[in-house]
Amino acid sequence: MPRAIAQARTADLPDLIRCWNQIMVYDTMSRQEMSRALFCSERHTALVARVDSHTVGLVGCIVPEAGGPTGHITMLCAADEPVATDLLAHAEDLLLGEGVSRVVASEYGGSPLAPGTDPRYAPIRAGFERAGYRHIRDLEDMELCLTDYEPTPHQQRAIEKAAAYGVEVRPWSPELVRRLTRFAGVARASGHLPAGWFWEGWEQGPNMVVALRGEEAVGYARYDPAPRGFYGRYHRRNAGAFGPTGVLADHRGHGVGTWMLAHACLAVKRAGCEWLWAGWTNTPFYIPNEWAVCRRYAVWQKDLGG
Ligand SMILES: CC(C)(COP(=O)(O)OP(=O)(O)OC[C@H]1O[C@@H](n2cnc3c(N)ncnc32)[C@H](O)[C@@H]1OP(=O)(O)O)[C@@H](O)C(=O)NCCC(=O)NCCS
């Protein structure tokens, strides 16, 4: 039966969500989450594959904002390997037409946040391989149960160490904004932290912890006790989100990051959450803090070449 590939429309949502949730069993989405993931940006295009009007797959792709070289596949759902390769080929054509020369699959942190491609989906993995993508790294999400959470001995030692280093960790307050703005400037200029972490309005509270050393902010951590959705990436109810977080490179290794993490855990627990989730984690930092990996997903890359 020939396959038809067409741009997804809002009217397709019921079929798309049915198809997605049947195939993507580790990443099920609500209709609202899918609608946001597919249609929240004009730069994002979703293509749907149908056989005899039956939906068999979906690919999402997004072009870079300022005509950059890298386009992203934000999501790929496919009933089998041929559907996956076919959808990828169509998405690549679309990205090529926009001047993209490299495609990265499922490492897109903007909106729509990429749900990632869990390596357990064998047909999708095979589809990426067959389409000439290289598996360049794995990313992880982690979680912590907050029910009995108290700062651990590791965290208490880190807090003492950071205090001896002259750092104080405080919840966000309006009078810190000036120092945070300066901090963002330093972080951007130094390249210590990814520029994408400082999107507009990032210094707004209240769900932020700030590390101060004298007059200067040297680190921050955001958290959200009531996230609006995880884009199908996390299934626990009553979970808050942690991140992003960062400490300026010159001040790392003194316990500051661990103190901010402990502070945020307590704040989210006090807000009534039972779980705390963090996406795209720097896993070695979280392991001694007793977090566990709850999801792993593959990042794929392909140079489209001339
Ligand atoms: C992760 C980060 C916030 C930790 O801040 P910090 O102030 O250095 O944290 P602490 O001093 O409390 O503890 C750091 C511990 O994690 C370890 N760690 C951090 N990143 C690590 C990495 N990539 N690989 C191995 N270990 C790492 C440190 O070696 C240190 O271990 P130690 O206590 O045995 O010395 C900081 O390294 C940072 O800003 N990194 C870049 C941004 C980032 O990765 N953010 C987290 C994304 S989820």
Domains delineated in the chain:
3-132 (3.40.630.30), 143-297 (3.40.630.30)
Rounded Cα distance, 55 and 48, in Å: 7
Please name the residues in contact with 68: beta carbons below 8 A apart, sequence gap of 6 or more.
none
Backbone angles phi, psi at 97, to 5 degrees: -60, -20
Give the chain's residues under pLDDT 70. 1, 109-115, 230-232, 306
Measure 253 CA to ligand 1 centroid, in angstroms. 7
Q: Is the peptide bond before 244 cis (omega within 30 degrees of 0)?
A: yes
Measure 52 CA to ligand 1 centroid, in angstroms. 52
Residue 241 near ligand 1, beta carbon < 6 Å: no
pLDDT given for residue 68 in this prediction: 82
Residue 247 near ligand 1, beta carbon < 6 Å: yes
pLDDT given for residue 306 in this prediction: 58
Residue nearest to atom 1 of ligand 1 (CA): 285
pLDDT given for residue 41 in this prediction: 86
Rounded Cα distance, 231 and 27, in Å: 8
Residue 254 near ligand 1, beta carbon < 6 Å: yes
Residue 263 near ligand 1, beta carbon < 6 Å: no
Residue 284 near ligand 1, beta carbon < 6 Å: yes
Q: Across the strands, what pairs with 209?
A: 171, 221
Residue 279 near ligand 1, beta carbon < 6 Å: no
